Amino acid sequence: MSSRIELKPSPTPLNPTERALRTKNLRFGAVFTDHMVSMTYRDSGWGDAVLEAYRSITLDPAASVLHYGQAIFEGFKAYRQRDGGVATFRPEANARRFANSARRLAMPELPEDVFVEAADALIQQDRDWVPPALGESLYVRPLMVATEAALGVRPAREYLFLVIASPSGAYFPKGVKPVSVWISDDFVRAAPGGTGDTKCAGNYAASLVAQRQALEQGCDQVVWLDAVERRFVEEMGGMNLFFVYTSGGRTKLVTPKLTGSLLPGVTRDSILKLAPELGYDTEESLISVDQWQADLASGSMTEVFACGTAAVITPVGVVKSRLGEWTVHQGETGPVAARLRETLLAIQHGEAEDTHGWMHRVL
């Protein structure tokens, strides 16, 4: 497929000194590499991909994404390996989810191999932008938007697929310290039959007002409840949640089950697969707010953490709702969250054996 990517690299990439300046004190998603890959869809087919200098794009004011929001995206990371090479973590899982998101939004599917190879080409070109430190990575952001100029409400006939990349450090400004969460009862993220299990831009737009409310309540993040009973915990911001139970020497990780309104996270899935190897039991089930509060009070629930590609694993230290406030693990990072985070990062940076075949070597 690489032959289908036309290589038109920038004649003026940043020099190493400028790049080093730009990537000092890395935050998340604030700096972009020299290149991008673009590909257009029209006349019922995908054109050739082009790797070119990172640039602004032009859109017709009637482009249907600006009106009716056909926009989807993905996120995965490229990690510097111990031998100096570069590998991505489960990119084919993101390719599959991207295709699912496209189907739900009546957008054309991109073949999964094209998705992965477009990202590989960008990472290969911008290899010097992959940061070396543990916990740092090159965050890869594929996206697709409807570009057809047409105001009729129907699936567009023209689309633009792009891949951009951003060298990134910790997602949350305070690093991997536990976050405080506000359980939203005014807003829901997703409803049965909706788009909650896709990575469409609208899900994130609809979350912002609740996130702002969480900040007003003195919390870092919002926690979403199910739309029907407003009782069962679904997600935290854009991340999945895990509840850790410890009793009689056994540890069990419980995560909200995928009812259709939750995003099936790649990190969530990876934790479920890794857990048994670390001696943890797992369970996917419904967890109510009442149960969360009661199990913390009884001491059976010992930790809570969120997981996602961007922040990997983030402990939850404080939970607030209109019913009151609870502390988890004295507001500190617990041993299970810390161990899972270390285990995942070690696999991602090639420091631990990749027994699942998750790493995709790019360089």
- The residues binding ligand COI (CB under 6 A) are 75, 238-239, 308-311
Nearer of residues 308 and 315 to ligand COI, judged by Cβ: 308
Q: Which is nearer to ligand COI, 125 or 314 (CB)?
A: 314
Q: Which is nearer to ligand COI, 30 or 62 (CB)?
A: 30
Q: Which residue is nearest to ligand COI (CB)?
A: 308
Query: To the nearest whole angstrom, how small is the minimum distance from the Cβ of residue 75 to ligand COI?
Result: 5
Residue (244 or 311) nearer to ligand COI, CB: 311
Question: At its nearest, how many Å lie between ligand COI and the CB of residue 87?
Answer: 18
Least distance (Å) between residue 311 CB and ligand COI: 6
CB of 173 to ligand COI, least distance (A): 13
Nearest distance from C-beta of residue 141 to ligand COI, angstroms: 9
Q: C-beta of 7: minimal distance to ligand COI in Å?
A: 29
356: its two tokens:
């699942």
> Is the Cβ of residue 74 or residue 226 nearer to ligand COI in the bound state?
74
Nearer to ligand COI, 155 or 264 (CB): 264
Nearer to ligand COI among residue 51 and residue 119 (C-beta): 119
Q: In angstroms, what is the minimal distance from the CB of 151 to ligand COI?
A: 29
Other Cβ atoms less than 10 A from the Cβ of 14: the count is 16
Closest separation between CB of residue 199 and ligand COI, Å?
Answer: 7
Q: Which is nearer to ligand COI, 265 or 317 (CB)?
A: 265
Of 68, 140, 141, 144, the C-alpha closest to 109 is 144
Nearer to ligand COI, 76 or 243 (CB): 76
Per the DSSP assignment, residues forming a β-bridge with 86 are 80
Q: Return the exposure string of 44-76: e unless at least 16 CB atoms fall within 10 Å of the residue's CB, then b.
A: eebeebbbbebeeeeeeeebbbeebbbbbbbbb
Min dist CB 310 to ligand COI, Å, is 3
